[in-house]
Amino acid sequence: MIEKINHIAIAVNDLESHIPFYRDILHLPFDGIEEVPEQKVRVALFKIGSMHIELLEPLSEDSPISKFLNKNGPGLHHIAFQTDSIQNELKRLSDLNIRLIDPVPREGARQSKIAFIHPASSGGILTELCQSDE
């Protein structure tokens, strides 16, 4: 079951140039930077209420974030929904013929399990499901 919005992810070319806006101007608590090698990104995390804002910086030219930036420029990359069982949610969506990018969960930031729904099935918005202990 979907429980809440977990995070909103924003693609950027350089974390260090964007962190001050969220930390110093908006005064969002900065939870640090994490590298997610499987996703080929560095992630800067900011807490806002019960969710996070994630800034995503590509680690390499073949990173999905690098490809997104080359095509679209910096901006909103995806919205992520928290689920209590990512396996059950993926099965339910698959049974509804929802197009999945990830039919099997993979490792995400903050030791979460993640899977993406293709934008063709979600109104043009890249949508992530995540399951974490938060």
pLDDT single digits (tens) 98-127: 999 999 999 888 889 999 999 999 999 999
Residues contacting residue 94 through CB under 8 Å, at least 6 positions apart? 100, 103
List the chain domain ranges.
2-131
**pLDDT for residue 79:** 97
Q: Write the burial class of residue 61 (CB in 10 Å: 0-12 exposed, 13-18 middle, 19+ buried).
A: exposed
Ramachandran class of 86: left when φ > 0, alpha when ψ lies in -120 to 50, beta otherwise: alpha
**pLDDT for residue 19:** 98
Assess contact for 114 and 107: CB atoms under 8 A: yes
Provide the whole-model pTM: 0.91
Q: Which CATH number fits domain 2-131: 3.30.360.10, 3.10.180.10, 3.40.50.300, 3.40.50.2300?
A: 3.10.180.10
